[in-house]
Amino acid sequence: SCANRAIVYGSNGNPASTLFALTFPTLPPPLPNTANIRFLLSPINPADINVIEGVYPSKPVPCDLPGHPRAAQAPLYVGGNEGLAEVIETGEGVTELKTGDWVVMTKAQLGTWTSARNAHVQDLLKVPSDLGEAAAATITVNPPTAYNMLHDYVKLDKGDWIVQNGANSAVGQAVIQIAAARGWQTLNCIRNRDDAQSMKAQLRDLGATQVATYDELSDKGFKERVKSWTGGKSIKLGLNCVGGRVTTSMTRLLGQDAHLVSYGAMSKEPLSLPTSLFIFKNLTCHGFWQSRWYQEKSLQERKQLTEALFGLMREGKLRSPEHEVLVIE
């Protein structure tokens, strides 16, 4: 059959200059307890860029591209952490997977921007194939982050409020939908843009209760507008995707005893918070990292989380994020 292609790099740096495409031969038959897999879709997440730059705490696993001379000279890394693949051949002793099964990676940073690879079966998790490729390919990073941040910090009742920034991000879109499915209300903040109205409509269509731009957030009268939306009910949870001054303004909207959970730093700006929020409002701040969650939890808990997310998808309550499929020739 035809040769394989991978998007690889040998040293850290700007992805635009360090990444290159490489052709390697058909994989040899899989060793015992491993499987040869063919990738169907591999996402590009913001963290993948940081891994290539060398500024992300998780380091890539050097790849073994069988039969490629370049790989024998110095370690090469295949980009990508997340991906959906199909099992093409299993090695001796593999009972939990068979040819044709859909799988995602449970081990971080294996390298997924490749047409095929070999993997240990313990690093693969079987996923259902009835929800579409995009849903399955993006199941390990963004929806779990949204789900865990909504469930692990504050006990929310029906009608309770959450505020988030970066609301149009993939994580933000999942937050909106999971919250809506639970009957929780969301105040969603986005960057100003030419088509802010259509972006707002799009997010409301996903289940957002209210959407505002960061410009509106910094308006003097914004707190009063929020009060009119919430009926004075206090906001219990804030989710921070961007850091910087927009997060300072957002945190001021939180009520007594609220929790702020930071998971992204898209603005690359540090986060500064008024001390009074800690003293008088008893604010608690956390950092969430899905990789840490996976390290701390059992495989059973991981499977339950994935099942809960696929369940929401089957009920039509959680759609795949807006995406564009690129085919690399």
Residue from 36, 145, 177, 240 touching ligand NDP (CB under 6 A): that is 145
Q: Is 56 a catalytic residue?
A: yes
Angle (CA) 162 146 263, round 5°: 85
Shortest spacing between CB 290 and ligand NDP, in angstroms: 3
Identify any residues that bridge with 212 across adjacent strands, giving them in sequence order: 189
Q: Closest by alpha carbon to 149, among 236, 246, 273, 270?
A: 236
Please state the φ and ψ torsions of residue 224, each to the nearest 5 degrees.
-65, -40
Residue from 90, 106, 112, 142 touching ligand NDP (CB under 6 A): that is 142
Shortest spacing between CB 232 and ligand NDP, in angstroms: 29
> Given the DSSP bridges, would you call strands 4-9 and 235-240 parallel, antiparallel or unpaired?
unpaired
DSSP of 189-233: EE---TTHHHHHHHHHHHT-SEEEEHHHHTSTTHHHHHHHHHTTP
276, burial (CB in 10 Å: exposed 0-12, middle 13-18, buried 19+): exposed
Binding flag, residue 306, ligand NDP (CB under 6 A): no
The interface with ligand NDP within residues 44-63 (CB under 6 A) comprises: 45-47
Shortest spacing between CB 239 and ligand NDP, in angstroms: 10
The window from 43-51, 64-72, 86-94, 297-305 that contacts ligand NDP (CB under 6 A) reads: 43-51
Q: Per the residue annotation, which of 56, 77, 153, 263 is the catalytic one? A: 56
The window from 85-93, 124-132, 165-173, 215-223 that contacts ligand NDP (CB under 6 A) reads: 165-173
Residue from 22, 71, 127, 141 touching ligand NDP (CB under 6 A): that is 141
Alpha helices of 139-289 — where are they, by DSSP H?
142-151, 170-182, 196-206, 214-217, 222-230, 244-251, 275-281
Binding flag, residue 22, ligand NDP (CB under 6 A): no
Report the residue closest to ligand NDP, judged by CB. 264
C-beta neighbour count of 288 within 10 angstroms: 17
The window from 14-22, 26-34, 114-122, 259-267 that contacts ligand NDP (CB under 6 A) reads: 259-267
Binding flag, residue 153, ligand NDP (CB under 6 A): no
Measured CA distances, 59 to 13, 71, 109 (Å) = 14, 18, 7
Binding flag, residue 290, ligand NDP (CB under 6 A): yes
Q: Of 145 and 230, which has the nearer Cβ to ligand NDP?
A: 145
Binding flag, residue 191, ligand NDP (CB under 6 A): yes
CB 35 within 8 A of CB 97: yes
197 token code pair? 């109205």
Which residues 6+ apart lie within 8 Å of 296 measured at CB? none
Binding flag, residue 312, ligand NDP (CB under 6 A): no
Q: Which residues are catalytic?
A: 56
Enumerate binding residues for ligand NDP (CB under 6 A): 45-47, 141-142, 145, 166, 168-171, 191, 241-242, 263-264, 266-267, 288-290
